[in-house]
C-alpha cells in the first residue's frame, strides 16, 4: 500500500485524491480525518496531517470548523484536469517520441489506439469519464 | 515548536573510550523520534544521561528547561523504559505496575489493563521468571500507560514476536494520537518503525550523523542499477555511498533526490532506479562513515 522512496504525505494525499476521482468520496462528502488516515495506514499523525493540509492548500478539501474535512465543490474536475496533464506528460510524450522513431504520425497512432482499444474491450465502454 | 530537551556539546568518556562525542540536538514537544544507531553507538548512554541515570563528562543537558539531576519535578515528567530494566528479586509484574502508577501522575490504568491482557503477561509469576519477551512487554505497558510527557523506549521489542510488536506499534500510535506527547524510540528494526517516527536521529560512534524529518529522507537516496559504464557515467560527480557489481551490471547507491531531468536521463539510458528504504540508507550511511574513518586512520598511520 505504501511504497518506499516517496514522501509519505504525498502518498496519503494521492490516496484521498484517488477516492475523489473514482467517486467513492463524493463532492461535499466528509473526508477521512487525519487520525483515521494515520490509524489506517499505520503512520505518524503529523505525516497524515501534512498530506491533508496539502489538499486543503490545493482547494481539494475544505475545513468545517469543529466537524472535519470535506470535499470541495469542483475538486473532482480539478483533480481530473491535473491527472490528465500528468498523463499526457508521462505517457503520451514518450509514446509520440517512440512513434516518430518508427515513422508513425499522429493519425497512424490514433488509428492504432482505436484498433487496440476495440480488441481489448469488444463493443463496450464509453471513452468518457474513465480518466487514468 | 517548543523544545522539551536541549543537548549541547554532550560528551561522555569511559576511560579512554569516548561513548558520546560532542553531541548537540533538540527534541521538540509532541513528536515521535527514532533514535537509530548500531550497538555501542551511544544511544543508551545519551538516554541515561537525559534521564539523570548517568553523568555527562562535559556539555549541557536541559529537560523542560531545567537540569534533570536530582530534580524530582522534572524526572516525574519523564519515563525511561530500559532494555535491561532491573526489578527486585521477588517482584511480580503487578508490583511493577502499581509502583509505576504511584510514580507517574498521568498513569492510565485502563490502557495498562488492556495491554496486560493483549500481551498475555502472567501477573502472578515473578518478573525474574518471565521470558525475555514478557519482560519487554512489562516495560512497554509501563511506557505507554505512564503517559509521561517524554517517554524513552530503549529497544523495547527484544524478545517480542511479530504479533506482539504490532500490538506495541498500534497501541503506541493510537494512544499518542489521543494524547500527543514526546516519544523517543531507539530501535534496530528501522523498517518497522519508519512510518511511525516523525523525525530521525542517527548516531554513529558517539556522533549524530543525521537529524532530519523522516519524510524528507524517504527520497534522499536511490539505487541506480544497470550496465556498469552507463551507471558510472550517471553517478560521476554524485555522492556515492555504496557500490556493488556483478559482471557488467552495477548497483550504486547515490545520495541526493533525483530530479525529473535525472529520471528522464536514467530512462533514456535504460537504467533502473530502485528506492532505498530508511533502513538501507541507515546501513549505507553508517558503513560509508566507518569506511571513511578507517581510511583516514590508515592515512594518518602512514
Written as tens digits, the pLDDT of chain B (302 aa) is 679 999 999 999 999 999 999 999 999 999 999 999 998 899 999 999 999 999 999 998 999 999 999 998 899 899 999 988 888 888 999 999 999 999 999 999 999 999 999 999 998 899 999 999 999 999 999 999 999 999 999 999 999 999 999 999 999 999 999 999 999 999 988 989 999 999 999 999 999 999 999 988 888 899 999 999 999 999 999 999 899 999 899 999 999 889 889 988 998 888 999 989 899 899 888 888 778 778 877 766 65
| Statement: residue A126 has pLDDT above 80 | no
| Statement: residue A131 has pLDDT above 70 | no
Same domain, A69 and A86: no
Looking at residue B299, its pLDDT comes to 66
| Statement: residue A14 has pLDDT above 80 | yes
CB B26 within 8 Å of CB B7: yes
**Beta-carbon separation of B218 and A4 below 8 A:** yes
b (16+ CB within 10 A) / e for B4-30: bbebeebebeeeeebbbbebebebeeb
Same domain, A70 and A18: yes
Compare CB distances from A42 to B32, B195, B198 and report the shortest one's residue.
B195
What residue in A sits closest to B217 (Cα-Cα)?
A: A7
Is residue A132 a part of any domain in this protein? Answer: no
Looking at residue A123, its pLDDT comes to 56
Compare CB distances from B173 to A7, A9, A38 and report the shortest one's residue.
A38
Looking at residue B149, its pLDDT comes to 97
CB B34 within 8 Å of CB B85: no
Gap from A81 CA to chain B (nearest CA, Å): 21
Domains: count for chain A = 2
Same domain, A56 and A83: no
Same domain, A22 and A61: yes
Same domain, A98 and A81: yes
What residue in B sits closest to A39 (Cα-Cα)?
A: B174
Gap from A4 CA to chain B (nearest CA, Å): 6
CA distances in angstroms from B134 to A68, B117, B123, B155, B165, listed in the order given: 41, 12, 10, 14, 12
Compare CB distances from B174 to A2, A5, A39 and report the shortest one's residue.
A39
| Fold held by B218-301 | Alpha-Beta Plaits (3.30.70)
ipTM at complex level: 0.80
Gap from B180 CA to chain A (nearest CA, Å): 10
Task: Encode pLDDT of B144-159 as tens digits.
Answer: 999 999 999 999 999 9
Is residue A2 a part of any domain in this protein? Answer: no
CB B33 within 8 Å of CB B197: yes
- CATH entry, B3-216, from 3.40.50.280, 3.40.718.10, 3.40.50.300, 2.120.10.30: 3.40.50.300
User: What percent of chain A has a predicted confidence (pLDDT) above 70?
Assistant: 91
Maximum distance among all Cα pairs of chain A, rounded to whole angstroms: 60
Looking at residue B122, its pLDDT comes to 93
**Residues of chain A found within 8 Å of residue B222, distances taken between Cβ atoms:** 5
Residues B263 and A55: their CA atoms lie apart, in Å, by: 26
Is residue A85 a part of any domain in this protein? Answer: yes
Same domain, A58 and A13: yes
**Beta-carbon separation of A8 and B216 below 8 A:** no
Domain boundaries, chain B: 3-216, 218-301
Q: What angle do CA A54, A57, A61 make, to 5 degrees?
A: 85
User: What percent of chain B has a predicted confidence (pLDDT) above 90?
Assistant: 73
Instruction: Supply the CATH number for residue A54's domain.
Output: 1.10.10.10
Is residue A128 a part of any domain in this protein? Answer: no
Same domain, A98 and A69: no
Is residue A3 a part of any domain in this protein? Answer: no
Same domain, A64 and A82: no
Whether the model clears a pTM of 0.90, i.e. scores above it, the answer is no
Full residue range of the structural domain in which residue A106 is found = 76-120
Is residue A126 a part of any domain in this protein? Answer: no
Average pLDDT, chain A: 88
Same domain, A91 and A110: yes
What residue in B sits closest to A45 (Cα-Cα)?
A: B177
pLDDT band at A132 (very low <50, low <70, confident <90, very high): very low
Which residues, at least 6 apart from B134, have a Cβ–Cβ distance to it below 8 Å? B119, B121, B122, B159
Inter-chain contacts counted by CB atoms under 8 A, chains A and B: 57
Is residue A102 a part of any domain in this protein? Answer: yes
Gap from B99 CA to chain A (nearest CA, Å): 30
Compare CB distances from A6 to B170, B197, B219 and report the shortest one's residue.
B219
Looking at residue B235, its pLDDT comes to 94
Query: Chain A 9-48, CB below 8 Å of chain B: which residues?
Result: 9, 35, 38-39, 41-47
Same domain, A27 and A70: yes
Same domain, A107 and A97: yes
SS (H, E, C) chain B: CCEEEEEEEEEEEECCEEEEEEEEEEEECCCEEEEEECCCCCHHHHHHHHCCCCCCCEEEEEECCECCCCCHHHHCCEEEECCCCCCCCCCCHHHHHHHHHHHCCCCCHHHHHHHHHHHCCCCCCCHHHCCHHHHHHHHHHHHHHCCCCEEEEECCCCCCCHHHHHHHHHHHHHHHHHCCCEEEEECCCHHHHCCCCCEEEEEECCEEEEEEEHHHHCCCEEEEEEEHHHHHHHHCCCEEEEEEEECCEEEEEEECCCCHHHHHHHHHCCCEEEECCHHHHHHHHHHHHHHHHHHHHHHHHC
Amino acid at each position: 500500500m505504501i511504497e518506499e522512496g516517496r514522501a509519505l504525505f504525498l502518498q496519503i494525499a494521492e490516496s484521498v485524491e484517488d477516492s475523489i476521482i473514482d467517486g467513492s468520496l463524493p463532492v461535499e462528502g466528509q473526508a477521512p480525518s487525519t487520525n483515521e488516515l494515520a490509524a489506517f495506514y499505520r503512520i505518524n499523525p503529523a505525516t497524515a496531517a501534512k498530506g491533508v493540509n496539502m489538499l486543503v492548500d490545493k482547494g481539494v478539501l475544505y475545513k468545517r470548523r469543529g466537524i472535519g474535512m470535506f470535499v470541495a465543490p469542483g475538486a473532482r474536475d480539478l483533480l481530473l484536469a491535473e491527472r490528465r496533464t500528468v498523463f499526457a506528460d508521462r505517457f503520451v510524450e514518450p509514446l509520440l517520441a517512440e512513434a516518430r522513431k518508427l515513422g508513425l504520425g499522429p493519425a497512424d497512432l490514433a488509428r492504432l489506439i482505436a484498433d487496440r482499444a476495440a480488441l481489448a474491450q469488444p463493443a463496450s465502454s464509453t471513452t468518457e469519464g474513465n480518466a487514468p | 515548536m517548543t523544545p522539551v530537551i536541549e543537548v549541547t556539546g554532550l560528551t561522555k568518556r569511559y576511560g579512554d573510550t569516548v561513548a558520546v562525542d560532542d553531541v548537540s540536538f533538540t527534541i521538540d514537544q509532541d513528536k515521535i523520534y527514532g533514535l537509530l544507531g548500531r550497538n555501542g553507538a551511544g544511544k543508551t548512554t545519551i538516554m541515561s544521561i537525559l534521564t539523570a541515570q548517568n553523568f555527562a563528562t562535559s556539555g549541557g543537558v536541559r529537560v523542560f528547561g531545567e537540569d534533570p539531576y536530582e530534580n524530582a519535578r522534572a524526572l516525574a515528567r519523564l519515563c525511561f523504559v530500559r532494555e535491561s530494566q532491573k526489578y527486585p528479586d521477588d517482584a511480580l509484574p503487578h508490583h511493577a505496575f502499581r509502583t509505576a502508577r504511584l510514580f507517574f501522575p498521568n498513569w492510565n490504568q485502563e490502557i495498562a489493563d488492556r495491554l496486560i491482557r493483549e500481551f498475555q503477561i502472567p501477573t502472578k509469576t515473578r518478573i525474574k521468571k518471565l521470558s525475555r519477551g514478557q519482560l519487554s512487554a512489562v516495560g512497554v505497558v509501563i511506557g505507554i500507560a505512564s503517559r509521561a510527557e517524554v517517554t524513552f523506549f530503549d529497544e523495547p521489542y527484544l524478545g517480542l514476536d511479530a504479533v506482539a510488536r504490532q500490538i506495541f506499534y498500534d497501541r503506541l500510535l493510537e494512544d499518542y494520537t489521543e494524547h500527543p506527547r514526546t516519544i523517543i524510540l531507539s530501535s534496530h528494526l528501522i523498517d518497522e518503525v519508519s512510518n511511525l517516527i516523525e523525525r530521525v536521529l542517527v548516531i554513529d560512534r558517539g556522533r549524530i550523523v543525521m537529524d532530519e524529518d523522516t519524510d524528507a529522507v524517504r527520497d534522499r537516496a536511490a539505487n541506480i542499477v544497470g550496465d556498469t559504464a552507463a551507471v558510472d557515467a550517471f553517478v560521476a560527480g554524485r555522492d556515492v555511498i555504496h557500490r556493488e557489481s556483478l559482471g557488467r551490471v552495477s548497483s550504486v547507491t547515490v545520495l541526493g533526490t533525483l530530479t525529473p531531468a535525472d529520471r528522464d536521463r536514467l530512462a533514456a539510458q535504460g537504467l533502473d532506479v530502485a528506492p532505498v528504504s530508511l533502513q538501507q540508507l541507515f546501513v549505507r550511511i553508517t558503513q560509508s562513515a566507518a569506511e571513511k574513518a578507517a581510511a583516514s586512520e590508515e592515512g594518518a598511520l602512514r
